[in-house]
Amino acid sequence: MAKLFNMPSGAVRQAIRCVSSSLHSTTLRAQTTMAAAMPDPLPVRQKTPLVTEVGKEPPGPAMKTNVPGRESLRLKAELDKIQNTDAVHFFVDYANSRGNYVVDVDGNIMLDVFTQIASLPLGYNHPKLIAKMSNPDNMVTFINRPALGSFPPADLVDKIRGTLMTVAPPGLQHVQTMACGSCSIEHGQKAMFMAYMRRERGGKPPTAEDLETSISGQAPGCPKLSIMSFNGAFHGRGMGALACSHAKWFHKLDFPVPDWPMAPFPKLRYPLEDFVRENEQEEQFCLEQVEDLFETYRQKGAPVVGIMCEPVQAEGGDNHASPAFFQGLQDIAAKNNGYLLLDEVQTGCGVSGKFWAHEHFNLREAPDVVTFAKKMLTGGFYYKQEQKATEAYRIYNTWMGDPSKIMMLEEVLNVVHQNDLVNNAADVGQFLLQGLLDLQKLYPGTMKNARGLGTLVAVDFPTTAFRNSVVITLRNKGVNAGTCGEAAMRLRPSLIFTKSHASVFLTYLEATLKDLIPGRKV
């Protein structure tokens, strides 16, 4: 075993390839047509030496083909024989990807400002994470995945205290790990339901009738309750998370969901300083609708136990709201004996310029539940004492997370603290946003509504088709960006993204706009 870990490249490369990464869910169908139309003389790509040493980034983008290239298209055709591949953009050479640069199987080197749908905290193949995984002392943790709820390892308490509890949102003393964002959301929902019903019973245990009727999914054991969410929200693809997601048709078509309330989310006008009064009125209208929905669903016999909201609606379009709006949500929830769950799956881990985005909101107290995943590497949720389960197997599944992810998170947090990466996100995000605002002035009919919180940055284009053209052209030049909403391009770079990387992105974006708007004089 020690001999395996002493191998300088092969064993590490093989370990890297075993790590599964998600691909973006939004389909840009034009990509295959564009790539197929471009002559691509490259043969099926053979294995090549590492582009650079571990931890050393390429000097910049370097493109050999349009994306997807011939090898990506070949692999996509093979995979399509096994599963649907409409969401696949390109196949990645993870062994050769470094830092903020992703390398595809056709040898294209791209600056990645989307980082596996916002899930890579330190970019690709960070040397500290390679070292952590290569340490033979950690092999036991990687091989033996325990059923944490019943058979936790001896060091679990110390590991959680040394990682997740060191960055716990102020006011939240409890945490439960999970595997992914969707299951984190759904167990957070269950925590609110259980707390609500314990309060309704006055702290008394459930009756025999409660227990018996719950088996068949009937009241009183399975009461008719609801959770309020927002138009434009996206919380995941599990059925409970999906019930609170209202962003795009392909998330929900054909799937039955409960009748739960959907409130309007503010549609702010930009620049914010020019529309202060209008935006205040918009947020006040939305808060009034939230309050009305509490009463409406109370009368329908499905009382709202809590509000669930993203600090920034990501998939729905990178939609922001003011601190006053979130303060209002918390007040309305409390007034109606409900709870507040903030979904920080995409906004947590420092990307907003604070470790948790809701720390920007100056809430009077902590949210009742805060969910996390993506850059945190493990899923899970923080919660108050009131939301703590009081019986075994109520918040439970086989694995309930993965200690190997906590081990990797430990190293991520070390790097974050040692390199002041949260403040880096604030600083670089401001630089990035200003660059977009400057381009917006040069292309006023093409770009609009540049907005951001830390590196959670986005900009709108006139139409979905034009936005897609921007993203595809930008990628073919050497920058991989993301999309959201109807016509927005979103940026989700890693925490090691710097101003120099931002400058590369802005330069390539401007070149893209010049290509797509021929004859434009600036």
Active site residue 374: yes
Burial of 398 (0-12, 13-18, 19+ CB in 10 A): exposed
Alpha-carbon torsion, ordered 243, 247, 249, 253, to 10 deg: -10
> Three-state DSSP class for 340?
strand
Tell the residue number behind the tokens 């696949």, with chain if given.
Answer: 88
Q: Is residue 69 within 8 Å of 90, Cβ to Cβ?
A: yes
Sign of CA dihedral 187, 193, 196, 199: negative
How many Cα atoms occupy the beta-carbon half-sphere of 161 within 13 Å? 4
Two structure tokens written together for 382 = 């923080």
Dmax (CA) of the chain: 77
Give me the helix-helix angle, 70-80 and 30-37, nearest 10°.
Answer: 130
CA distances, 344 to each of 133, 316, 354, 508 (Å): 27, 15, 12, 30
Q: Is 132 a catalytic residue?
A: no
One DSSP character per residue, 144-213 reads ----TTTS--TTHHHHHHHTGGGGPPTT--EEEEESSHHHHHHHHHHHHHHHHHHHHTTTPPPPHHHHHH
- CA 124 – CA 456 distance, rounded (Å): 19
Q: Choose the catalytic residue: 106, 318, 343, 402.
A: 343
* String of DSSP letters for 440-491: HHHSTTT-EEEEEETTEEEEE-SSHHHHHHHHHHHHHHTEE-EEETTTEEEE
Q: Which of 166, 207, 390, 398 is catalytic?
A: 398
Helix (H) or strand (E) holding 101: strand 101-103
Task: Put the strands of the sheet holding 226-230 in their side by side order.
Answer: 174-178, 379-383, 369-372, 339-343, 304-309, 226-230, 262-263
**Residue among 234, 294, 381, 461 flagged as catalytic:** 234
Catalytic residue among 354, 374, 384, 405: 374
- Active site includes 274? no
- Catalytic status, residue 230: no
Site of tokens 């869910």: 25
Q: Which residue, among 344, 384, 387, 386, has the nearest Cα to 366 in the 3D structure? A: 384
Active site residues: 234, 343, 374, 398
